Structures are given as C-alpha cells and as structure tokens.
Amino acid sequence: MVWRMLPRGVPPDGWVAVVKRGCPTCQLVEPVLAQLDAAAGLVVFSQDDPAFPEKVARVVDDTELEISYRLGIETVPTLLRLDGGEEKARTEGWLRSAWEKLTGVAALGPGLPDHRPGCGSRTLEPDVAEALLVRHGGSRLRSRRVELAELEDEAEALHDRGWSDGLPVVAPTEARVLRMLEGTTRAPDEVVAVVPPDLVECTVEKVAVNAVLAGCRPEYLPVVLAAVEAACTNEFNAHGVLATTWAAGPAVIVNGPVAKEIGMNGGLNALGQGNRANATIGRALQLVIQNVGGGRPGGVDRATLGSPGKVGFCFAENESESPWEPLSVARGMPEGTSAVTVFATEGPRGVFDQISRTPESLSRSFAAALRAVAHPKLALTFDAALVVSPEHARVFAQAGWSRERLADELAGLLRLDPAEVVRGAAGIDEGVPAAMATEPVPKFRPGGLLILHAGGRAGMFSAVLGGWVGGRGGSEPVTKPVTGEVLR
C-alpha cells in the first residue's frame, strides 16, 4: 500500500530511519540500526544530533526537521521501507516482530526487549510545530497580513478593526488558519460562494479565517463551508434576511454522521449554550457575512430589535431518538449523508404542554403556538420551524404518526377562520386584507413549516422557531451536503 510520495533528500529505495538522541528508545535500537546498515545499507535522519547514531555510515542532519515534517513523523524511532520513490511501509517505536517483517531481516536486536514505545517527534513540540506549519504552508495563504503593534491587546485590536461581532474573537494567525485548513480536503483558493450584501467572492481560506475568529476547531470547517454555501444561495436570500427590519437571522441545522463526529449537541440544551461546535459554527457563518460580505449592524443589517441568535445559531437534529427520518432526508438528501439546512429564524419560543397524551391534543397545542408566529392574525407570510422534543415525539411515535401525518394535521388546524383574522377583527387593525378573507386561510405557505426533532428527555417542552417572509421575495430553507471532510 502506498502511503505518500517522498520528499526531496530521501533515497528512492531501501530503508530509512528517523531518530533523535534524546529518545531512550532510539538509543536502545542503535545496535539494530547498525545491524540493518551492515545488512543492506540504511539512511538515518537525526532530529537533534547529526553524530547519532555513531555506527551507521549515512546519518543525515535533520535538525531543521525538513524531512521529518514532510514525512509526517510523529514518533521516533520510525522505520520506513521505500520502493521506487514511494513509501511502502512504516513502523513506529521498537517492536522486534514489526521491524523484522518490514525489513525481512531475522534476529534483529538480540538481547534487547521485544518492545519499547517510542518518543514524540520534535515536529510535534508546540512551538516547533507552529513554526514548521508556517514555514512550509504559509505560502498557500493569500489573505492580507495585518501586523499588530507590540503593546496592542489582540482582542481589543481585532474588535477595533471591526472583525468582531461584539464578543472577543480568536486572532487568525497564519498557523491557526493553516491548522483550520487541515480540516478540509478542499483547496484554499476554491471559491465557496459569492457573499452578500457586497457580493464578494469567498474562498475556503476566507471561510477558514472567520472560522478561526469564531473559535471553531478544524474538524468543524466542512460544516461551516456547507452553511456558507447554503446561506449564499438565491433561495435563502441572505441579503434579504440581513436587510429586513425583522429579527431574523440564519439558523444552521446539522444532520448525518458529521454531527456526532465533531461532537455537536442535539440533545439536552441543544438550542442553548455549552457546546463548542454548536456555538462556533453558527457564529462563523455570521462572521463570514459580516467580514467578507460587508453585512454589518447599522449598515445593511437594519434589524429593529434583532435577537441573540444573530450572533450564531446552530444545532444538530437528535436523530438517535427521533421517531422520524432525519430532516435532511425529508428534504431530499440520501440516508447517511452529512448535511446542513439553513433556515431564517427570529429564534426559539417554548411550547409548554405536559398533560396531552394523545397526538390530537398535542397537535392542537402546537397549532395554537404556531398561530402566534409573527402575529396570530397574519397568514401566508412568515415561515416557521417546529422543534419537537423527545417526550413530545414519544406521543406521536406511540400513536404511529409520521412527520407527514403531523404536518397534515397541523395544516388542517392552521386554516384560519376569515372572520377572526380579517383586518379589524377583535378590535385589532393588523390582519389579513378583506380581499383575502373570503374563505379559511392557511397560516403557512406550502413547505413553509419545517418539523424536526431535537432536545433531551427533560420535560414535555418543544419549541417554535418563528421565521421570516417565506417563498418568492423572502427566504426558502436550503439544504446542502457537507463535503471535503478529512477522514480521521
């Protein structure tokens, strides 16, 4: 099996070892290295002392760690077998059976213990690792460098330059951005989206910079990239969501294996604080819109009140306890695909019903809460999402209700009586124009109500995410697959 192409300076054929004098295991196997050198020749790269090991003819100075870094050495000693300019096999630490299998030389290291673990490579030392990353990867970055004065406080400097959402951000140093880019297989210069309102092309690198600012880990980057792609579509209409005087902002709902892989929360307190992935993925999306697209509060962002969710709103669906297929599957994604759905919302409001034990009764509670979205007398205007908790979902599961059955029931319950919703009814001027109030009016347009499952088994509480104007001229929910994940 081919592991990787070899860097310059490494012979194309034979055995190569990487060691350091400061490693007791490397000192232990010094006679083994001499034995292999005598048998067929060996090249040793020494990380800390070009005079070690003394009994091997070809020792190469790798104190600059060029070869070790490019070979991806994590443990010393590491022994590699090369053939035709390609690495074919490697073993780390000292295990006699593994070394004999790799080299085909029997009776290695007589008198030595059969096994000793190795030591950490110098390339993994914190300061060294960062310097190597910048030295070898810095040329990949195209973003403008900004130098801070020696006495400037990083958090204050980034806030003063307008790169913050009001909360402290993480300084996007070269090393941090390069580490963030390791979270995806996508090229740094790939254009992900054209970001409104300024319609600026945004590359993977630019998303990575803002993911660092938001506090993301590298493994979150593919999800952030998918969220940016979804939010910057014409269907989602991020410009409209940003410019509206309503309180709406994007919520990111994550489905599929990636949610578990990166430790997202879809259970207890899923819509709240405390989970790094939830908190930073949504924040990264908003920072991209602000810092790349130019969407700033008081500028194009004209929200009258706004909401805390506009800092960043992201959570996973609780698929493991759900009686229904994942939201992403209901929206056309193949089963098992990691995906995000971006939905414009003002934020959650709770639905309290601890008594209903039939789906008919609980549906009526949900319908009553949903009717209040934007205004109880408005219809066919604002979208919404219904987040059903596990204890409420159990009521529907026990009765055999699918998501579609619940949606149909709610659609029937939310056909509003024209006499109740016409302008002026109940002494309220707001409402449906008289020309529309000639027959029962649906609260939501077709497709304007999402139903999903999240939360923990901590009470019979669900939530309504009030949306924004839906459909043409407004915003459609958009679902995109997560791509470019790094296998771990």
For residue range 78-132, list pLDDT tens digits in order: 999 999 989 999 999 999 999 999 999 999 999 999 999 999 999 999 889 888 8
For residue range 240-261, list pLDDT tens digits in order: 999 999 999 999 999 999 999 9
Average pLDDT estimate for 429-441: 94
Of the candidates 358, 430, 353, 339, which has an alpha carbon nearest to the alpha carbon of residue 386?
353
For residue range 14-23, list pLDDT tens digits in order: 999 999 999 9
Do the Cβ atoms of 380 and 444 come closer than 8 Å?
A: yes
**How wide is the angle at C-alpha 222 spanned by C-alphas 74 and 169, nearest 5°?**
85
Residue 3's pLDDT is 42
Domain annotation for the chain: domains and CATH numbers: 14-123 (3.40.30.10), 160-481 (no CATH)
Task: Find the distance separating the first CA and the last CA of the chain, reported in whole Å.
Answer: 18
How far apart CA 26 and CA 480 sit, in angstroms, is 49
Of the candidates 302, 307, 308, which has an alpha carbon nearest to the alpha carbon of residue 243?
302
- Please tell me whether the overall predicted TM-score, pTM, comes out greater than 0.85 for this model: yes
Does residue 243 sit in helix, strand or coil? helix
In sequence order, the 6+-apart residues with CB closer than 8 A to the CB of 70 are 7, 136
